[in-house]
Each structure stands twice: as structure tokens, then as C-alpha cells.
Structure 1
């Protein structure tokens, strides 16, 4: 039991080091200025990234179920470390594409496996009921790391150069790999003994296809999540259009990250204030939607920054709740594969939307922000989530 308890602490550390994204506050300038590519090409790279996720997500989820979550975490951390080195090797669209693929591989190996590893560890400890709180803390650890690393990355970029802000991430990512070596893998509770790899893949897809509640939850999570995440890709060109110096980007990014922490640590209180879990999910999508629309009109810098904080606080924290809700509806023996199936669907949506938004931003950034907000409102109105689907 003590070994499994240590797992949770080690996973906190793992999440911290994997979240030290020094490039975060200057990512768009990295591609535009050092990389010499256009904004639409950045979005095409992101589309390639999520297509890679689409190809890799379910197979890597099955790897986690078949060979073990620990093996998947090890390979994922190592792949991310290699990706940063490739990104910084040479300013070329094609080199960036290789980096995107390695990052996609690492992310796919980590995504379903990390949550499944934690949930199964809690199961061995008899504390599955604490999953929402634990996942919330993981989110907080991630946000703290992002807050610390973003300003540091801006300093690195402004003194040593944009390339070195990217390259520096290889160090904490390799430390994460070393942490993975010390994890104690919990046994997976199975409903059968079939361990055939392709059976796991097919089983995960079929499980989702016949589970209406998961489908409803996935629609809300994916549609709002994909749209809300565009705040990350649009705020830097927005700040540049307002004449804000790049040296401040990392600090603004840290503030945007910090805005998510009080939300993540007060889900239960916010749900009580909203009247129910279902109503809070609606609030957490409508509020950032209105924020996007207002960003299309507001030009006063303090107001813009406040709107960015609001969008991030509500719109970028919903995934933590859905991690808990998804797990409550999935059997342990194929949990990683089913979660990866849902991530795969998210990748399909992103692959379609990214290029569209890329060309829209080159056409008009303010109008693009308004379009994103309106789309979020529409998705919220057609969501079919019921209160009984949201199990603690």
C-alpha cells in the first residue's frame, strides 16, 4: 500500500516536470520569427500533430493496457524529450513536422496511461472516490509548472534566443523519464484474460460506440475543449496587434495559467453555487464564449488581459472534471484504450478546425474570436448531458 501511495506523489512530480514548457509564452513567435513560417502554416502543423495523435492514440492506449501503464509513461517522457531537440535543430517546416510527430507520440503514450495509472492506483488504495480531488490536484501541479516556466522561457528567449527556450525543455522531460523508472505499477482488474493487442484496440472502440453516456460526455468535452483552447493560439498575435512587447508574453501567460488554479480547486463549491454539476458545465462554457466575443471588440489592454484570464479560468479547466466522469463509466481492464478512443475523436475535430482557424486569423483576428465564441454557445445549447451522467 505504501508503494502505491508513493505512486501518487511521484505522479505529481512527473506531471510537474512534463509541464515545464519554457516555450509556452513565446510559442507563436518561435514559429513565426525563428522558424520563418506563416500563422496558417503553424495551424497546418497543429493539424498534422493532431492527425498523428489520431493515428497513434488508440494503439498507444492499447500499448498501455497490454504492456503496462509504466512502460507507456516511460516511452512517452522519452519521446517528448527527443521532440524538443528536433524542434530546435533547424528552422524548417519539415523539421518542425518531425518534432510534431514525436510530440504527438509522447503525448499519446502519456494521455490515457497517466490517468489510468492514477485511477488504478487509487483503486488499489481503496480511494477511487477521491479521483476528482486527485485529478484536480494534478491539474494544479501542471498549472504551477506552467506558471513558473513561462516567464523563465520569455527571459531565455529574450537573452539567449527563441531556439533555446525550446531546447531547454529537454532537461525536465528527461527527469520525468527517470521518475517513471521508480513507479510501482498496480495490477489491473480484468473481466477476462484475453490480452490480444488488437482485441484491446477493437474492444476500446466498441465499448465507446455502444456507450451512449460516454458519447454525450465526449461531445461536450471535445467541442467546448477544442474551441476554448484556441485562446492559447490567438492571445499572442492579439497582444502583438495591441503593441505589447514580447518580453511580457510569458508573464501574461503565467497569469492566464494562474487563473485556472482557483477554479480547479473549487469545483465542488462552484457546482453548489451553480445549483448542480450540469449547470456548472454550462456556465463553464458560456462564460468563456462571451469572453471570446468581447475580445473581438475590446482594444483596451487591461480589459483584454482580464478577458483572457476569465476564458482560461473557466474554459481550460473543464477537462479535469471530464477525466473523472469518463473514468466512472469505464471498466478498469480497458480504461486506457477507451480514454484514448475519446482523445482520438478530439484529434479528428482539431485536425479539421485548426486549418480553418489559421486562415481565418490571417483574414481577421477579431472576427475569428467572435466566431469561436458563437460556436461555443451553439455547442453548449445542443449538449445533452444529464445530471445523472456526472458521477462523483
Structure 2
């Protein structure tokens, strides 16, 4: 059992690397895979939208599972669900299944990922607190990002060239196998520390309590709420940009069968993630407030996305993608540290899942809309529209900064820096679930 902050971090890095490696094996070819199965651009991105819809539908319920039954149990359920649904994807591709089947399996794929979102991060923060960690949480998340970036680099590049050497289904089969291995690893090394699952009592009463407290300590905390309101524009646009890069860059490259190039693009974003993780501490030192760094990254992303759509040179677009990924990666750990410092342990997994839900909600709407724009006009136009949509996140980030939360300038943060009191007057508490 883990008893020191160092051992807790090692386990977190192993889990992060394994999950990212499994996921990234298909990142460079996913859209091409769907199009090869006979789907149109609209249907391919609609299938991705059903995936994000599954995340929206299951985010909070699976976060509650993590808070009631344990983070470890949630992680194990996630690996099994993803392994099964990945195998089903291969079956649908092989049979050239109709769109409705892709929609159902994509939603179930989203279910698998929701078991991870919130739970793994909550496990880390609680375990570090329990073992006396007094370091900088931003740095822990940054190192995890470097490690996951390396795994993404290997997975995305390897998956792309594996598909080119064999066929588009093989990377999905390998992904399912890696997930089975991760289930075994997590079952052996992962234990809930600093958190005791509440397996007693009435489940419905506990769910109501957790959701209610999550509203009080999450949505009703202005700094958290504005971050969540920005998430649909950042996350919804981001997921489209990533997956649309595959066919768009092959189009710019001039060879629609160069799957290795598609994998290489994902690998470049992995390299940007690694460099961004190393640069997080430097970026954090340049800004007194965490929200100032987030605002800078948001504004830079808007400009980069617009230029990706307006420039037609393959190599210039490639450089812009690298810069976009680098800035986003450097500031992501800062956001993670900020939001974790604002929420209490007992509701952490649920609130983090709700934050992820907000991001997924943007993807449900943005992906089919932007996919349709690509069908009717072209990919460059869809990127210009993406840049405009991403700009809507900036006012919410500015509002979060205006709250001047203590966590915005804190150096260390392993626990909530908000008072352990309801965030609404007592006479309004019965109404919290109705709003």
C-alpha cells in the first residue's frame, strides 16, 4: 500500500501513462477510421458527438460512484468498459454497420471515459493530502502531463504507422489489449487513501446529499462556476479541432492514404504536451494569478485556430498546431491545480466530473455543427468558425479572475481553500437541486 507522497505520485504517473497510451493508439486515425467505415463527415463527427453525449449523460453518475464506492472501483470499471466498447468499434468497422449502431457504441465509449474523469485526479489529491504532501500541485500535474505526452507520442505515432502497415482496425485491437493490462495493474497497486467510500446507508439519499453538496461547493462558488461555463467553448471546439486535423492535414499534404502522417500530427501534439508540461512552472512564475495565465492561453488559442483555418501551407499549419498545443498544455496543469484548490475532498470526484461534463456538453453541440460546416463548405471554414466559438470562453475566464479567490495566487494547494460552509444561505438550501 502506498504510504508516501513519492509512491502515490509514481502510481498516478503509471496509471496516466497506461491510459494515455491506450487512448492515443487511435487518436491519429479515428476520424479516418470512421470515414473508412462508410460514414460522411457529418455522421463521423455526429458519432463523436454521441461519445461526448455519453460523457454528458454519465459524468455525474460515475462521479457519484467514485465518491460512494471509491476511486479505485471507478477506475477499474472504466478500463473494462473501454476495452469492451473498443472491441465493438472494430466489429462495427468490419461489418460497415449503420450509423445508429455507431451512435450507441460511441455513447457507451463515453461511459467508459467518465469512470476515469474526476476519479483518478480525486484519488491523487486525496492520497497526497493523506500522506503529508506539501509541495506544489501544479508541478505534479505538469509532470503527469509530460509523462502522458510521452505516452501519447508513442501511441499516436505507433498507431498511425501500425494502421498503414496493417489496416485501420489493428490499433483498436491493441488498444483493447492495453486496457486489459491496465485493469490488472490498477487492481494490484491502486488503493483509496485519504478517502473512505461510504458504502452504507441508502444510495438515493447519499446521491442526493453528494449532488446537493456539489452544487453548493462547486456551481455556487463563482470562481468554479465561471471556469465551468468557459469549458464548453474550450473543450467543445478543442475536440473537433483535434479530430478534424486528421483528414484536413492529409488534404493539405496531398495524399489521403498517408495514415502515418495523420499519426505524426498527433505525435507532434504529444511533443507539445511534453514541452508544455515542462514549461508549466515557468509559465506559472510569469503570472501572479493562475487565471491570468488561463486568459492568455485562451486568447492565444483563438488567434492560432483562426490562422489554422486561414493559412493553406501544410508546414505553416503544422507549426501553428504545435504552438496551439504547447500553450494549451502549459496551462492545463495550472487550471487543474486551481479548481482542485477550490473544492472539498468528499465531493471532489463529483465536482470534477461535472466540470468535465460541461466540456463534453460543448462537444455534443460543436462537433456535428462544425462537421456539417466542413461538409457544406470545407475544413478551413470550419476552423475559422471554431476560432470564433472559442472566443466565447474569454469573458467567463475574466469573470473567474475577477473573484480574486485565494487559490488564484496560492503556491501550494492540496486541499480546498474555501470555507467548509454552504455556499448559499441556509433558507435557500432546499432549492439548490431545483436550480
Q: Same fold (TM over 0.5)?
A: yes
Structure 2 residue runs without a partner (length 5+): 412-435
Shift of 1:157: 0.7
1:224-235 to structure 2, matched below 5 A, reads: 224-235=234-245
Shift of 1:122: 0.5
Residue matched to 1:32: 35
Residue matched to 2:375: 362
Contact 2:284/2:334 (<8 A) preserved: no
1:168-317 to structure 2, matched below 5 A, reads: 168-182=174-188, 183-188=190-195, 196-242=206-252, 243-244=254-255, 245-274=258-287, 276-317=289-330
Task: For residues 325-384 of structure 1, give each alpha carbon's deviation from its aligned partner in whole angstroms, at most 9, with x where no partner exists.
Answer: 111111111111111122222222221222211111112221221121123234314531
> Secondary structure of the residue that 1:110 maps to in structure 2?
coil
How many residues were matched structurally? 390
Query: Are residues 1:17 and 2:18 paired?
Result: yes
Go from structure 1 to structure 2 and tell me whether the alpha carbon gap of 1:274 and 1:319 turns closer, same or farther (over 3 Å shift). Answer: closer
Task: For residues 125-153 of structure 1, give each alpha carbon's deviation from its aligned partner in whole angstroms, at most 9, with x where no partner exists.
Answer: 22154321111112222111110011211
For residues 276 and 118 of structure 1, the distance between their equivalents in structure 2, rounded to whole angstroms, comes to 24
For residues 113 and 364 of structure 2, the distance between their equivalents in structure 1, rounded to whole angstroms, comes to 16
For residues 53 and 360 of structure 2, the distance between their equivalents in structure 1, rounded to whole angstroms, comes to 6
Residue matched to 1:371: 385
Task: For residues 246-277 of structure 1, give each alpha carbon's deviation from its aligned partner in whole angstroms, at most 9, with x where no partner exists.
Answer: 22221222012101222222223123335643
> Secondary structure of the residue that 1:7 maps to in structure 2?
helix
Contact 1:296/1:366 (<8 A) preserved: yes
Residue matched to 2:418: none
Task: For residues 131-180 of structure 1, give each alpha carbon's deviation from its aligned partner in whole angstroms, at most 9, with x where no partner exists.
Answer: 21111112222111110011211122112200111111011111111111
Contact 1:228/1:288 (<8 A) preserved: no
> Secondary structure of the residue that 1:386 maps to in structure 2?
helix
For residues 232 and 116 of structure 2, the distance between their equivalents in structure 1, rounded to whole angstroms, comes to 18
CA RMSD of aligned residues (A): 2.3
For residues 394 and 87 of structure 2, the distance between their equivalents in structure 1, rounded to whole angstroms, comes to 40
Shift of 1:232: 0.5
Contact 1:86/1:95 (<8 A) preserved: no
Query: Are residues 1:83 and 2:97 paired?
Result: no
> Secondary structure of the residue that 2:193 maps to in structure 1?
coil
Contact 2:278/2:330 (<8 A) preserved: no
Contact 2:279/2:330 (<8 A) preserved: no
Judge which range, 193-202 or 331-340, deviates more.
193-202
Contact 1:190/1:333 (<8 A) preserved: no
Query: Are residues 1:118 and 2:124 paired?
Result: yes
Match 1:73 to one of 75, 81, 103: 75
Shift of 1:85: 0.7
Contact 1:225/1:319 (<8 A) preserved: no
Go from structure 1 to structure 2 and tell me whether the alpha carbon gap of 1:366 and 1:227 turns closer, same or farther (over 3 Å shift). Answer: same
